[in-house]
Structure 1
Amino acid sequence: MARDVKNIEWVEVSLDFNRKPRLIGHLAWKRSERRSYFEFAGDFLSNSLPLSPFKLAASPGAVAAGHAPFEGLHGLFNDSLPDEWGRKLLDRRLQRLGYDHQTLSPLDRLCYVGDRGMGALIYKPQGQLDALEETTLDLDWLADQADLVQQEAPEADIDRLQANQGGSGGVRPKVVVGFNPETGLLVTDNGAGADPAYIPHIVKFKADADPDEIGPEEYAYSLMARAAGVIMPETRLIRGHRGLGYFAAERFDRNLSGRHHVLTLSGLLDADHRVPSVTYGDLLKVTRLLTRDERDVNQMFRRMAFNVLAHNRDDHAKNHAFRMDPDGSWHPTPAYDITYSSGPGGEHNLTIAGEGRSPGLGHLFDEAKASSIKRLNAEEAVEAVRAAIAQWPEFAAQAGLSDRRTAELDHVLNGRGAPHQASQHG
């Protein structure tokens, strides 16, 4: 281990826009209270940006975090921490090195995020694990290692997987890579972004609960969502040497000039994404207050309609996010984690007009009315979504999804063909 970071009492937090880090303040951990305090730097206050406008507005003095839901951390900074898959990899790697990961505070974990997390926030001092040689990547090998981790196999290459997960969240195993569309080569993404030929991507692997063809399936869903008018990142299906298709999406928190500040709905509202704590009504209200742009509100309604009609119920508060421009204005990020999912207990994480288990068109239009969305705009969005979903077999064919899986989901989505037992994801 190059630098051991443990029992940290304070962390320096900076905002890295356009490769020009700017100190925004200091985060301190009060062990007697098991929570953190954040104080903005004076220079930042003199020319501040709304990094967390609802829960941590720029103002003098130290601001305490709540004890829940983020183990004593503010939502703004909790968004930087990997959860589920990324946390498991860090814990396993530290455990192998002889460290008790259970004693790490949230600030200790932020130090291991350092400058390699999602978004534009960076943390010092930086905890460094032994550096690995940068190399071209073999997705089939990485997928095999991810399977071994899920099986708790001791021979899994935890070091390589953890070094390449890049602070990404969620349950699905994934890596961050640089991908060259011209050559098809993938390289380790160390966050530098020095070679413009390699575009930053997130590549996902199969989780235990996923259907076998989750890669082509999510890619087909991304094509369908884009056809419905949902703003999506560029997506690809990258084939490994064994012919397996891995879903890949360009990162919207990075570009050639540097990083973007991104905050999820969970981080904006200090809302626990692990339990139903907010609704689509809340999401639409936040969108209007944050962006002050009805086009963004209409886009978010369209995403809600797509999730309902395309049976994507893994729509929790960390699966909706906003991106801040350097001038402090906010807009929704492109949509992500869009695929068939049964959700927790068969319900949407975010309810639609109070309904989570069986929402329909009536609930969509009730939500539109309650959220002051014009009826004509709501109808246009719903019709565009329905038209795209009706073309599901075409998108599935483009993605190379098997006829059987295509038919299974076509019956669920469009009522066509004989019923099948669709594999439940999410």
Structure 2
Amino acid sequence: MSTISREIDVFLGEGVNPIGILRFATNGRREHSSFVYSDFWLEHKASFAIDPALQLVQGPQFHTGGKGEWSSVFHGVISDTEPDGWGKRVMMRRHARQQRAQSNILAEPLNTLDFLLGVDDVARMGALRFRDENGHFCSTRAEDTGTAPPRVQLDQLIHSSQAIERDEETERDIQYLEGNGTTLGGMRPKSSIQDDEWGLCIGKFPSAGDTKSVTKAEILALKLAAMAGMDVAEGKVVRTEAGNDVAVIRRFDRDDAGRRKLYASAKTMLQVEDDDEHTYTELADVIKQYSPRASEDLCEMWKRMVFNILINNVDDHLRNHAFLYDGQRKWILSPGFDINPFPDKARELKLWVSEDHGPEALVQSAMDVAPLFGLRDRDAATAALVPIVKSLQKWREVGRSQDVGMTNAELGQYENAFEHAELEFASGLV
């Protein structure tokens, strides 16, 4: 295979000067990358390190990813803008169709930079932007469609997504999803969309293989968390003309004017590359080091841990927690997102409570570590627990509400996630 070397300008938000250069090289399966800050950025009075692993120094800073599922050849804050499962699936289908159309079975496979640059600039997560050697910001859209699709196209997006899941997609399906459907992480079908009320949003679609109302259940979880006083992404259920239920989630990495906010996953903030076990108490340490509102963020993180335990959200890995740059060389905890109940999965968290407690989803474990989150005694922890328990005790009522619209049958499918011994234990504490 041939050697490929490229240099990509990196911009921050709507800035007109690059803050650095991303260098990428590959020779077959071996890939390497480095990042070098520009002189402009190093000399700027408001400059800051865009990643804890990328110090404000001259010269290239190299990175070679590990071999785990979540590893990347790029530094963390850059890899946080990459697609994973679903987005890569769409890109690979597009690439395969192009190869077949050109009868080019010897064409190079997509490399990691191809995936990174295959994400559309308009909807890329966070504030980083990438400009290629020809001076073009990465875009997969036609020049006259410089925005995510409107809500009215949801049924077409769902049709195209499910066609890909069934291996039945057409060129039109790929065109609908490319860019829109590659922006965000996760395995389930989704797309960036423009909502009349909220602007740029994520539309999460029913999967072709769903046996439960996954989209409604995610909105239910967000509504319950908000009722408990937690800081979570705004979400709503949208029923399409064809009767599909879509979870529409407002993007929190954009402000009300649409300006971008720099985003870093908890994986990036911890500077880890592997898939080894990590803990909520490690995230507490990150908050103490970087947050200007550490007391508030620590309590919020503890509440999210407890909430995840009580709804059996066992997909709480490091990429499902994040931080936003606050503009003052600090990082604040982002709103909670990707909070989903899993009624059919074992009660074991991806993110352990602590090294001592392991993965088992137990409220008592959360109570044990509460002092590490600023809740200095049992009374303080209990006070933080009360609104969560009261909210979850109303899960059926909220699920039936007009905002969520779950039927009794749909609620019954999620009973095991909300009604169990741990909620009884927590109720006994308050």
For this structure pair, what is the TM-score category when the shorter chain's length is used for normalisation? 0.7 to 0.9
Give 3-state SS (helix, strand or coil) of 2:391's partner: helix
Identify which range, 172-181 or 346-355, moves more after superposition. Answer: 346-355
Give 3-state SS (helix, strand or coil) of 1:318's partner: helix
Partner of 2:411: 406
- Answering whether residue 40 of structure 2 is matched by residue 43 of structure 1, we say yes
Percent of pairs with identical residues: 25
Give 3-state SS (helix, strand or coil) of 1:80's partner: coil
| Contact 1:265/1:271 (8 A) holds in 2 | no
**Residue 390 of structure 1, aligned match among 385, 389, 393:** 393
Q: Within 5 Å, which residues of 2 pair with 1:67-216?
A: 67-69=65-67, 70-98=71-99, 103-113=109-119, 115-116=121-122, 117-125=124-132, 126=137, 128-129=139-140, 131=142, 134=145, 136=150, 137-155=152-170, 157-165=173-181, 167-181=183-197, 199-207=199-207, 210-216=210-216
| Contact 2:343/2:414 (8 A) holds in 1 | no
Structure 1 residues 149 and 209 mapped into 2: Cα distance closer, same or farther (>3 Å)? same
Offset, 1:363: 0.3
Offset, 1:131: 2.3
Q: Distance in 2 between matches of 1:237 and 1:318?
A: 24
**TM-score w.r.t. structure 1 length?**
0.84
Q: Distance in 2 between matches of 1:222 and 1:266?
A: 22
Give 3-state SS (helix, strand or coil) of 1:365's partner: helix
Give 3-state SS (helix, strand or coil) of 1:159's partner: helix
Offset, 1:129: 4.2
Offset, 1:280: 1.0
Q: Distance in 1 between matches of 2:140 and 2:200?
A: 22
Partner of 1:15: 12
| Contact 1:392/1:410 (8 A) holds in 2 | no
Partner of 1:223: 223
Q: Distance in 2 between matches of 1:247 and 1:164?
A: 15
Give 3-state SS (helix, strand or coil) of 1:336's partner: coil
Structure 1 residues 377 and 24 mapped into 2: Cα distance closer, same or farther (>3 Å)? farther
Identify which range, 299-308 or 102-111, moves more after superposition. Answer: 102-111
Q: Distance in 1 between matches of 2:162 and 2:222?
A: 24
**TM-score w.r.t. structure 2 length?**
0.83
One-letter amino acid of the counterpart of residue 26, structure 1: I
Offset, 1:71: 4.0
Q: Distance in 2 between matches of 1:295 and 1:169?
A: 27
Offset, 1:202: 0.6
1:194-218 per-position Cα deviation (integer Å, ceiling 9, x unaligned): xxxx611111012356443112211
Unaligned runs of 5+ in 1: 1-5, 182-197, 417-426
RMSD: 2.6
**Residue 383 of structure 2, aligned match among 380, 383, 390:** 380
Offset, 1:372: 5.0
| Contact 1:312/1:343 (8 A) holds in 2 | no
Partner of 2:424: none
| Contact 2:6/2:23 (8 A) holds in 1 | yes
* Count of aligned pairs between the two proteins: 391
Structure 1 residues 30 and 140 mapped into 2: Cα distance closer, same or farther (>3 Å)? closer
Partner of 2:26: 31
Unaligned runs of 5+ in 2: 422-430
Q: Distance in 1 between matches of 2:162 and 2:90?
A: 13
Q: Distance in 2 between matches of 1:317 and 1:97?
A: 35
Q: Distance in 2 between matches of 1:75 and 1:91?
A: 23
Partner of 2:240: 240
| Contact 2:120/2:180 (8 A) holds in 1 | no
Structure 1 residues 378 and 63 mapped into 2: Cα distance closer, same or farther (>3 Å)? same
One-letter amino acid of the counterpart of residue 223, structure 1: K
One-letter amino acid of the counterpart of residue 214, structure 1: V
Partner of 1:254: 254
Structure 1 residues 314 and 245 mapped into 2: Cα distance closer, same or farther (>3 Å)? same
Give 3-state SS (helix, strand or coil) of 1:238's partner: strand
Partner of 2:428: none
